[in-house]
């Protein structure tokens, strides 16, 4: 029995991690990046739904006339929601990541 399990053990054994790298991650996204990635993921999901609706995927039967008539407008709505979600994510990322421009009261020029 031990002979069989010998093949499933990792070979060679993994070396211990360096102490300086074991307690930290190599890349930790900032909150604006995390929010943007969430908006991007939602946008991709909405675009996948839009394509699936337009192509009218049906597993058991063919699409009816009403489903075919509704598919393109409904797919367009989901595609517009996807693009809108992506635009909101980009605007949110740009507003959170860059410092705001402040204008002088007297001159109106940026500082």
Helices (H), the chain: 2-6, 19-22, 31-55, 65-97
Q: Which pLDDT score, from 0 to 100, does residue 69 have?
A: 87
Map out the domains of the chain as residue ranges. Answer: 31-96
d(C-alpha 38, C-alpha 88), whole Å? 11
Q: Which pLDDT score, from 0 to 100, does residue 3 have?
A: 65
Q: Which pLDDT score, from 0 to 100, does residue 41 have?
A: 96
Residues lower than pLDDT 50 in the chain:
none
Q: Structure tokens of 40?
A: 């991007």
Q: Which pLDDT score, from 0 to 100, does residue 81 have?
A: 96
User: How far is Cα of residue 8 from the mean position of the Cα atoms in its chain?
Assistant: 36
Q: Which pLDDT score, from 0 to 100, does residue 27 have?
A: 66
Ramachandran angles phi, psi of 110, nearest 5°: -65, 145
Q: Which pLDDT score, from 0 to 100, does residue 54 have?
A: 87
Report the sign of the C-alpha dihedral through residues 100, 103, 109, 111, in that order: negative
């Amino acid at each position: 029995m031990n002979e069989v399990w010998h093949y499933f053990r990792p070979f060679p054994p993994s070396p211990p991690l360096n102490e300086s790298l074991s307690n930290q991650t190599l890349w930790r996204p900032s909150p604006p990046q995390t929010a943007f990635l969430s908006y991007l993921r939602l946008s991709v999901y909405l675009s996948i739904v839009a394509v699936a609706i337009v192509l009218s995927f049906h597993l058991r039967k063919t699409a009816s006339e009403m489903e075919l008539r509704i598919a393109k407008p409904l797919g367009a709505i989901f595609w517009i929601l996807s693009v809108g979600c992506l635009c909101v994510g980009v605007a949110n990322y740009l507003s959170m990541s860059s410092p705001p421009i402040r204008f002088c009261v007297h001159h109106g020029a940026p500082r």
